[in-house]
Structure 1
Amino acid sequence: MTETGNSKESKDYNLEKDCELRFEIESKSQIKVELKSGFAELYGTELVKSKKYTFYQGAKVAIFTYQGCVINISGSPDVCYIARETPMIQYLNTHSAIEQMRVNAEERETCGPKVMIVGPTDVGKSTLCKILLNYAVRLGHRPILSDLDVGQGNISIPGTIASLLIERPASIEEGFFSQLAPLVIHYGHKTPDFNNELYKICISTLADITLERLNEDKRTLSSGIIINTCGWVKGQGYQHLLHAAKEFKVDVILVLDQERLYNELLRDVDAGCKVVFLPKSGGVVERSQQTRAESRDQRIREYFYGVPLRSPLYPHSIDIKFSDLKLYKIGAPVLPDSCMPLGMKATDNMTKLWPIQPGPSLIHHVLALSFAENPEQDVLKKNVIGFVCVTNVDVERQTITVLSPQPRPLPNVVLLLSELQFIDSH
C-alpha cells in the first residue's frame, strides 16, 4: 500500500485487495477522485475508470477494492488514509445470504427477504443499507428502501419516515434517485420520543403501504425490503424496533456493533426471524449534536434548492389566504386521566388533529401537504404530497407566503404543521 504524487494537490493511492481508502472533507473545499486502474466501489456502486468524481464539504467517503486499484485524489482532504481492517467481506457474505433468500422467493413466487438494520447512533446503519441495496440492484433486483430515522431523513426531509423503490445503483455523487416518487409519512418531529404514540402509528402506516406496494410487481416482491432505523435502541426506542419488526414482518435483523442489543433481540423476536451480529466499520465517525442539526438543515435546503453546481432547483414563492388553508397539528400535551372525557386515554391526545390559526409564529416552519382531501378523512393514515416552508405571515392581509417546489396552485390545502424550521437565506 503506497501513495505517490508529484504535488500536494494530486496523489495516486495504490490499494491492495480488500483495502479501503477513507477520506473526509471538513473545510469548504472540493476533492476530485479518479479511478486510474483496477476496480473499486463506493458503498456498493462501482466507480467508472478515468471518470472524475467531485466531493464537497461534509463528505465522508470510503472507497473499497476487492482486487486492488490505483486511485488519484486531486485536492487536500482533511483526513485521508488507507485501511486494511474493514468489515466489507462480512457485509458481502451477508448480501450473499440475503441473495439466496431472494432466489428462493423468486422460484416460489413468494415475498423476498425483509431485512431491518439496527444499532446505536453513528455505527454505519445507513451506509450498510446503501451497500446491500446497491449489490441487489446490480444483480437485477428492485428492492424497496424503508427509512424509519426521523432525525436525518435519508429519503425525504427530517421529521418524516418514507419508502422508496430502488431501481438502479446509487449515484456516486448524489446517492439514490428513482423514477417513482417516494411514499412519505409525516411525523413532524426530529426524535421519536417527542410523540411515541404518533411514531408507532406512522410506522404501522408505512409498513401497510410498503407491503402493499411489494405485491404490485413480481420482481419487487421477490426483491424484498431493506429497513433503516434510528439510533435509539433503549427503553421505548427498543419497543419501537420490536414494533417495526412486527409491522414489516421482518425476516432478518442485522445488529451493528452492540452485543447487548443483539442478545435482547434474540430473546424477544419471533423464532422465524434471524438475528445477525455485524461489526461496524472503523471509518465510522461520531457526529456532534451541532453536526446533526446542520445535516437536517442541509437536507431541507436540498429539498427546495437542490444541490448547487450539480442539480440546482428553483422554488416558487406563493401567497395563500388564511381562508383557503386547512392547517392542523397532530398531537397536544398529555393531560391527566382525570381531565379526559369518559372513555378516552391520556395518550389519545397525542394522536388527535388540532386546528391551527395562522399567525406570526408559523414563520420558518415546514408544512406537509397531506393527500387527505379533508380533515374528516384519516389524516394519520395518509402519506404526504410534499412540503412548503412559511417565509412570511401578513396578518393585515390575512395571507401567508410559502416557499414551494412547484408554482401555484398547491395540490392540496390540508396542511400539517412540523416542528422543524428552515430559514431561507437565498
Structure 2
Amino acid sequence: MLVSFPEDSILTKHIIKLKTDATIVEIEAKSEWRFEVAFEQKLLIKVVEGNAEIFGTELANDIEYKFTGAKASIYTHEGCKLQYQGEVSSEYISEETEMGHYINLHLALENIRNTAGSKAPNVLILGAKDSGKTTLAKILSSYALRMDRQPMLVNLDPSNSVFSIPGSLTATPISDIFDVEEGWGNTYTSGPTLLHPKQPNVRYYGYDDINTNLKFYKENISRLGLTALSRLQVDLDIKRTGMIVDTPPLGLKNIDLIQDIVSDFEISVIVVVGNERLFIDLRKKFNGRLSLVKIPKSAGVVEIDDAFKRKLQQRAIREYFHGTASTPLSPYTANVDYKYIKAYKPASGNTSVDAGFNPSIDQLGYDLSAVTGDAKSKSKLIESVENNSANLLYAVVAILHADKKDDEDVVARSSVFGFAVISGADDDKHFVRILLPVPGRVPDKAMIVGEFRYTE
C-alpha cells in the first residue's frame, strides 16, 4: 500500500525509544504502521509480540526483515509490537485503514470458490493511478494462499516489475508466500531463491506506458490471456481458485480495452477502486453479465513520483542479473558478431513517444527516434532493427522462444525465454557484448528491443 506521511501523528504515544538504536512500536488491533524508506537507507524490522502482516503476507515473530527503497504498511488484526532499527524517512500509525473492505472482499471470493458447482472467480481490479490496485491484488493473492489456494496472479501494468523486469506482462501461479523484503520475490529464471520460485509466463511489451503502442499491448494481453486460461484448464489447484488480474490506470476512455481484458481472461468479477463514475458506467455496460464491486481508495495512498518508479525499475533489472544480498548471482558476458543477432522492435505505425519520457535515456545520450522510427508500418506488430550502437547500446532485450529465422508474425506471438542487456556495441568491428544471467552461448533466438536501458 502506498502511504502518505504527516509531519505530526497523534499516535506517537505508541512509539517507545529504547536505549539502543532500536525503537519499539505498539500497534493496536485493526491498525497499521505505515513507513517509507529511501533507496539510500536501510531499515530492519522485527515482530516481537503479537501478529502482523505486510500486504497480506504474515511476518514471522523474532525474525529480522530488511527494507530499502520501500513504501509500505504493516497491519495487525489483534495488535502487536514491532521493533525497528535503522533509517526511516517517515513512519506513523493509522487507525484509518481499508483492510476491513479487503478482508470482506476476500471472504466473498472464498464463498464463491466454496459454492458447489460454482466456477472460481476471475477478478479484474480497476482504478486510477496510485489508487492501491496492486496492493489489493497482492493482498487477495496472499489471503487465498493462506486458505491453501493457488491463485493465478496476472500483471497487465508494464510499469510494474512483477516476477520479471519492467516492460513485461506476466501470469504467475502463486504457490508460496511473497518475499516481503524484495516486494515480490524471484522466479526460476533468476537462479536459486530462499522461497519456492515462482514460474511466470512472460510477454514483453517493452514500454512503460500502454498508449505508446496500444496495438502491440493488446496483442500481448490477448496472448497472455490464452496462456493463462489454458493453464487453468490443466491445473486443478489454480482452476479451483481463479485469477486475480492487476491493471495499469484505466478509466472511462479505456472502456473498449476493459472489455477486451474481460473477454481475454473470462473475467467474472470486476473490482473498481475509488472511482464511482467508472463503477456506474461499467455496471451499465455489462448490465448484470458479471459482478461489480466498489472498494474505497485507501486514505494512505499517495502518488509515486517518476524518480522513485525509475529506481524501482532499475533495481528490478539489476536483481534479475546480479540477484540480491541474500541470493547473489554471477552473470555472464559474451561477445557476439552482429550477424548472429536478430532483433525486432514494436512497429512504429501507432507509436507516440515523448522524447523526454525516460530521463535515463537522455543521460546516456541515446537517440529515442532510433527505437520509435517513422510511421511506415501501420499494419505490422513488430519490425526488424538494424544492428548498430544507436539501436542496441545499453538496451534491455527479451530473448523469445521464437527462432531467428521465424516469420515476424511468429516472433510477435512468442513469449519470453529470458532477458539480456547489450552492454557494449562496436560498429567498426561489428560485435556486441551481451550480459546474460547464466553462462553459456547466446540462444539462437529472436529478440525484442523496447525502450528500457540499463548500465552498471
Task: Name the TM-score, length of structure 1 as normaliser.
Answer: 0.91
- 1:206 is aligned, of 204, 224, 237, to 224
Amino acid at match of 2:92: Y
Q: Tell me the number of residue pairs that the alignment of Structure 1 and Structure 2 aligns.
A: 408
Taking the aligned partners of 1:365 and 1:6, their CA distance within structure 2 comes to: 48
2:410 pairs with 1:378: yes
2:329 paired residue number: 313
Taking the aligned partners of 2:268 and 2:350, their CA distance within structure 1 comes to: 36
1:176 to partner: Cα distance? 4.1
1:354 paired residue number: 383
Change (3 A) 1:416 1:49: same
Taking the aligned partners of 1:180 and 1:390, their CA distance within structure 2 comes to: 26
- 2:45 is aligned, of 23, 29, 33, to 33
2:61 pairs with 1:73: no
- 1:16 is aligned, of 24, 28, 47, to 28
- 1:363 is aligned, of 365, 390, 393, to 393
For residues 353-395 of structure 1, what are the alpha-carbon distances to aligned partners after superposition, in whole Å with 9 as ceiling and x for unaligned?
3222210111011111111123326222221101111111122
1:401 paired residue number: 433
Decide whether the 8 Å contact of 2:398 with 2:449 is kept in 1. yes
Q: Tell me the secondary structure at the aligned position of residue 287 of structure 1.
A: coil
2:364 paired residue number: none
Q: Which runs of 5+ in 2 are unaligned?
A: 1-10, 187-195, 352-374
Q: Tell me the secondary structure at the aligned position of residue 249 of structure 2.
A: coil
Change (3 A) 1:43 1:352: closer
- 1:163 is aligned, of 157, 160, 171, to 171
Taking the aligned partners of 1:30 and 1:255, their CA distance within structure 2 comes to: 35
2:230 pairs with 1:217: no
Decide whether the 8 Å contact of 1:117 with 1:125 is kept in 2. yes
More displaced stretch, 91-100 vs 397-406: 397-406
2:57 pairs with 1:45: yes
For residues 83-115 of structure 1, what are the alpha-carbon distances to aligned partners after superposition, in whole Å with 9 as ceiling and x for unaligned?
0010001100000001111222xx43x641100
Amino acid at match of 1:241: I
Change (3 A) 1:351 1:190: farther
Amino acid at match of 2:380: T
Taking the aligned partners of 1:319 and 1:210, their CA distance within structure 2 comes to: 36
Decide whether the 8 Å contact of 2:349 with 2:377 is kept in 1. no
2:190 pairs with 1:182: no
Output the aligned Cα RMSD.
2.0
Taking the aligned partners of 1:214 and 1:312, their CA distance within structure 2 comes to: 33
Q: Tell me the secondary structure at the aligned position of residue 349 of structure 2.
A: coil
For residues 384-424 of structure 1, what are the alpha-carbon distances to aligned partners after superposition, in whole Å with 9 as ceiling and x for unaligned?
1011111111223321111111222123321112121112x
Match runs of 1:4-403 below 5 Å: 4-7=16-19, 9-26=21-38, 28-56=40-68, 58-104=69-115, 107-108=116-117, 111-174=119-182, 175-177=184-186, 178-235=196-253, 237-269=254-286, 271-307=288-324, 309-333=325-349, 349=378, 351-361=380-390, 362-373=392-403, 374-376=405-407, 378-403=410-435
Decide whether the 8 Å contact of 1:22 with 1:80 is kept in 2. yes
Taking the aligned partners of 2:25 and 2:333, their CA distance within structure 1 comes to: 48
Amino acid at match of 1:328: Y
1:418 paired residue number: 450
Taking the aligned partners of 1:16 and 1:328, their CA distance within structure 2 comes to: 55
For residues 322-378 of structure 1, what are the alpha-carbon distances to aligned partners after superposition, in whole Å with 9 as ceiling and x for unaligned?
22222222312359xxxxxxxxxx997253432222101110111111111233262
Amino acid at match of 1:84: E
Q: Identity rate of aligned residues, in percent?
A: 29
Decide whether the 8 Å contact of 1:330 with 1:350 is kept in 2. no
Decide whether the 8 Å contact of 2:401 with 2:445 is kept in 1. no
Amino acid at match of 1:26: A
For residues 262-316 of structure 1, what are the alpha-carbon distances to aligned partners after superposition, in whole Å with 9 as ceiling and x for unaligned?
1121122352211111112222221122222222222222222222x22222211
Taking the aligned partners of 1:79 and 1:420, their CA distance within structure 2 comes to: 31
1:339 paired residue number: none
1:25 to partner: Cα distance? 1.0
Decide whether the 8 Å contact of 2:426 with 2:432 is kept in 1. yes
Taking the aligned partners of 1:63 and 1:387, their CA distance within structure 2 comes to: 33
Task: Name the TM-score, length of structure 2 as normaliser.
Answer: 0.85
Taking the aligned partners of 1:187 and 1:53, their CA distance within structure 2 comes to: 33
Decide whether the 8 Å contact of 1:364 with 1:389 is kept in 2. yes
Change (3 A) 1:282 1:325: same
Taking the aligned partners of 1:263 and 1:306, their CA distance within structure 2 comes to: 45
For residues 34-72 of structure 1, what are the alpha-carbon distances to aligned partners after superposition, in whole Å with 9 as ceiling and x for unaligned?
11111111111111111111111x211211111111111
More displaced stretch, 122-131 vs 390-399: 390-399
Taking the aligned partners of 2:258 and 2:213, their CA distance within structure 1 comes to: 15
Change (3 A) 1:286 1:353: closer
Change (3 A) 1:122 1:7: farther
Decide whether the 8 Å contact of 1:9 with 1:76 is kept in 2. no
Decide whether the 8 Å contact of 1:324 with 1:413 is kept in 2. no
1:163 to partner: Cα distance? 0.7
Taking the aligned partners of 1:40 and 1:332, their CA distance within structure 2 comes to: 49
Change (3 A) 1:232 1:292: farther
Q: Which runs of 5+ in 1 are unaligned?
A: 336-345
